Structure 1
């Protein structure tokens, strides 16, 4: 098991002057150091190049390639170091001319110009409609004026249906086909010839990175509270935890109780023989 170093040597000189101007780069740098993250850690978590991170922390946004990309990088870096990006974006807009005003959409049409012209009544259509109504009324009266008894006799001769109502189809219990979700105890049945590591964000969110014994990246991202990831390899699993205090670890079926501090960055390695004790 190996544990990484905290980047205390990167802590900048604090300007005690109350007139020091608010700096986006200084805010991001101080938040990164407070979170115990190095520039390499943030670059790995956000996939933003190290040179761009250094430039932004120095308030140089030219390498971003434009204001739109600069806003996106600021927002991404702020979230990686647990900082609210809204004040930083507002500061960037205030110092770089703000967002371009949206163009008002052109009107699709003017109602007055498409108003239909007034026309006189169509007497021909009215006369045709009146004739059709008269013919329909006469036909309806002639049809109902026939022998009502005959129609009643026909109706009386009709035998009522004796067919039994269809029996309802028995409902099948769909729950029988639902497979239960695998519980956390399933990690205890991990094969003995492999190393199995489960990472759970129990007390908050944390960025994590996991690699196998060949250095192949298994996962790199933010684990939200309540989420968990399970990794397995034939020899070893290498982990980097951005906030180890928020993480519960289970290695080869056993919980690791190392009492990690909140906000601490931990670099860990587990093999199929771990944990050695506990």
Structure 2
């Protein structure tokens, strides 16, 4: 009779906490149901297409177009269904190989330090050599027995050459004054009989939708960092901002001092006159 461990004792112990942990898509699906929202509700609030919402809830990230866009969609959907996006992003990175490692900066700086410095032509030495040649030519002409007039003529003929050599010295261009950002007065050139809305994303990116007073779609898509769009209508512009915290607005030439929070979805309407949200 063996006193060692039986084969049943050697079976691996299952981590029940890991088995009970839902996938990213399953967690988003459960949170949406708990919030009483449909896929159409989430799509309308976040501007994420219905097909992508269905795919993410099924843990299919192929329609997202890459891990970077998948993370952005997960973060936006999590906020829409009242979930903390941080743990979901961490779980997604763990299941998909994590974020790409940053490129080390040390070799770049090392190569920059050992790069030989470029040197321009030595114009001072060239000018001195030209003057020496001119003086030697004048002396040689005088020694050869020419009269004083001929020596003077030789010196006069050589002087323009020396002047041309000296003028070849490059002049340093004066620094150009930096051009500032467009002033409010430049933006205020919008027509008074129309409503003009400028939407910019200086520090982030956001899905935006813009319609005119007839409900005609002017723009529906992603506004990347550094991009801007300008919309104009005879009476009214309707906006939906998927991430209002990343957006900067100018309405009829005036900047809107908003208090939008990152990730907040805002529906706005602007008309002619003072920039007041409808």
Please give the TM-score of this superposition, normalised by the length of structure 2: 0.48
Please give the TM-score of this superposition, normalised by the length of structure 1: 0.48
Q: Higher helix fraction: Structure 1 or Structure 2?
A: 2
